[in-house]
Chains A and B, each alone.
Chain A
Amino acid sequence: MYQKDGEKYFIVDSHMHYWNAAPDNWVEGAEQYAKGWIDCFHAYQGLGPPETHWTIEHFQKYSEDDLMKDVFEDGHVDVAVFQPTYLKEWYKEGFNTTERNALMGEKHPGKFIYNTRFDPRDGDPGLETLRRNVERFGSKGVKLYTAEWNNGSRGYKLSDPGAYRFLEAAQELGIKNIHVHKGPTIWPLDKDAFDVSDIDHCATDFPDLNFIVEHVGLPRIEDFCFMATQEPNVYAGLSVVIGGLMYARPKFFAKVMGELLFWVGEDKMTFGSDYGIWEPKWQVEGFVDWDYPSDEFSDYPRLGTAGKKKILGLNAARLYDIEVPAEFQLPADAGTPAAQDDAVLVED
């Protein structure tokens, strides 16, 4: 919960992690990838305020106590959604698995939601694992990292027939939310790994699933925005947008926010700190205080208190059926969080 100027904000951190990327978890022979990956994440942290930077050793492996303090005690978060990232080709026990998240989360009832994952290249055994994970952890969402390496393959498309099989199975199991993260390597390598058109197909073919495109498709914001206007069940995950731009590039942040508010709308944007890349505290506080820096942005939609409340928590609460106490709810005339029909269709 965050309170400012008499307004109370219910905070759902819809995209965060609890990883172990220390050398003790590096796969033999793949050390350079394991190191390269966490170094790359660490460089992202460099885009946040200097006083929030961690040493690489701390960044590689933070403790349960660190997480509880950074996210809940200091970070204002009410409920956090664990997004797993397996990367077992590089990390022996995985980078940040559903099991690791749940082992920790079970000690703190009510604080966490455990998303799981699947990889269509895992075939039938993968389907079975998905079924078991949903049963065991009560997952309502999955995090898909399409550029993950798997047995020599450098990624997949969500529109592949194998992926559809998993999406169908996930839906039958009660999964509602598909978080997708595009990454830099995807097979075949001559294609644009960040292309979001496969999500466009899925969103049309699975209208009852919600597709939350993490990092708003960065670095393909334009393709994401255009797709999101046409697909009512596509949402913009703001992880990296706030963390990577709000402090380091405030002018670009204002422009990107303006574009997202125009194309996607405040009902369909969800806050995610991407912890441990960035701590939520400065992101939540900065976002509540945020406004366009000058008149240069007067053509963009405004973002008021109600919109910030939706983005920081109410939209994600709706996607995950999280109960929100009355004191945090919006007044009746402030719209419905996560409403699918709010995308601004641009017509002439």
Chain B
Amino acid sequence: MSHARAGSPALADGRGAPGGGGPRSGGPGVTPRTSTGPGVGPRAGTAPRASALLSALETVRDPELDEPITSLGFVASAAVSAGGDAEVRLRLPTYFCAPNFAFLMVADAYDAVSALPGVRKTQVLLEDHFASDAINGGVAAQSGFVQSFDGEAVSELHDLRADFLRKAVMAGTDQVCRPLLAGGADPARLLELTLGDVPPSRPLRRLRERRGELGLPAGDDAPLVIDPVTGERVSEQGAALHLRRAQVTRISIEANGGICRGMLRHRYDSVGLGEEEEQ
């Protein structure tokens, strides 16, 4: 059983994204969450360990910052009882953080945790937020964003998520290309490279995952520098501008993350589960 709000495969934007429509984004490497849910998941066996719970939450990202909610410090607590009842408490840097992204994080955390073998019941609670009640209630009732914010939203959040995945692809393009440019490659040369030509690295893996989530080409033979909307190789005359945009997109996301971390620290003096300093 999947959530009404969340089951859509609508991340591929349909323009030049053949084969798009994979599972919704909840993070790379997550077990597909198609057959689990409250009361449906396996009940035999034992409740998952705390480490499994944390691993599940590590797959949930802040869609805007493209970083796990754990490393950002957004997980205030996470526990599972011997009987398999999981409770996760999330916190954000401000009382007024955007409700749509907040909803996605709560919903994704719900999905990730309830998909764990041995979890019988899942509760995810966003604390200290102006829309806590609407979000917590909506996610618990699996009623989707539109219904949770009755009259205030006209569609679910797939398009919003896809927009931010495209930003993540741009930022990731900078992360992968910057070392190559620093090594003397000129932008035109980068256009000839495929993903398989680039030495393996964490940023490369991440870029491939984000492209995959959008239904964009992500295999070894796919061009390294593509338009994140059409999936097409960037033209030679557009290359320098494209790479500049990739750079400013990355800096914007990182600066934003820095501000969020600073404000979270001011708001809460405790360290979140799995919290890490920015790199």
Size category of the A interface is 35 or more
Nearest CB in chain A to that of B255: its residue: A252
Tell me which residues from 25 to 58 in chain A have a Cβ below 8 Å from any Cβ of chain B.
32-33, 36-37, 39-40, 42-44, 46-47
Binds B, one of A107-115, A231-239, A242-250: A242-250
**Residues on A with beta carbons closer than 8 Å to the beta carbon of B163:** 192
Contact A256 B255 (CB under 8 A): yes
Given contacts A187-B152, A189-B100, A348-B239, contact A219 B245 (CB under 8 A): no
Question: Does A136 belong to the interface (CB within 8 Å)?
Answer: no
**Residues on B with beta carbons closer than 8 Å to the beta carbon of A222:** 167, 170, 245, 248-249, 251-252
Cβ-neighbour of B241 out of A185, A189, A191, A348 (below 8 A): A348
Q: Cα distance A189–B150 when bound, in Å?
A: 10
What count of chain B residues pass the 8 Å CB interface test? 46
**Residues on A with beta carbons closer than 8 Å to the beta carbon of B237:** 348
B205 vs chain A, min Cβ distance (A): 23
Question: Does B137 belong to the interface (CB within 8 Å)?
Answer: no
Tell me which residues from 249 to 271 in chain B have a Cβ below 8 Å from any Cβ of chain A.
249, 251-252, 254-256, 258-259, 262-263, 265-267
Tell me which residues from 213 to 246 in chain B have a Cβ below 8 Å from any Cβ of chain A.
237-241, 244-245
Q: Cα distance A189–B144 when bound, in Å?
A: 13
Q: Is the interface of B mostly helix, strand, loop or mixed?
A: helix
Tell me which residues from 142 to 164 in chain B have a Cβ below 8 Å from any Cβ of chain A.
145-146, 149, 152-157, 159-160, 163
Contact A248 B252 (CB under 8 A): no
Question: Does A263 belong to the interface (CB within 8 Å)?
Answer: yes
Question: Does A203 belong to the interface (CB within 8 Å)?
Answer: no
Q: Cα distance A348–B265 when bound, in Å?
A: 43
Contact B240 A346 (CB under 8 A): yes
A176-189 near B? 1/0 per residue, CB < 8 Å: 00000001110111
Contact A249 B262 (CB under 8 A): yes
What are 22 of the A-B contact pairs (CB < 8 Å)?
A: A39-B95, A40-B96, A43-B267, A46-B265, A184-B97, A189-B153, A190-B100, A190-B154, A190-B155, A190-B159, A191-B100, A192-B160, A194-B98, A218-B255, A221-B252, A222-B245, A222-B251, A244-B262, A248-B258, A249-B259, A249-B262, A348-B240
10 more CB-based (< 8 A) A-B contacts, given A190-B153, A192-B98, A256-B252: A37-B96, A184-B97, A184-B99, A187-B152, A190-B160, A219-B256, A221-B248, A226-B248, A249-B262, A263-B248
**Chain A residues in the interface with B (C-beta under 8 A):** 32-33, 36-37, 39-40, 42-44, 46-47, 154, 183-185, 187-194, 218-222, 225-226, 244-245, 248-249, 252, 255-256, 259, 262-263, 346-348
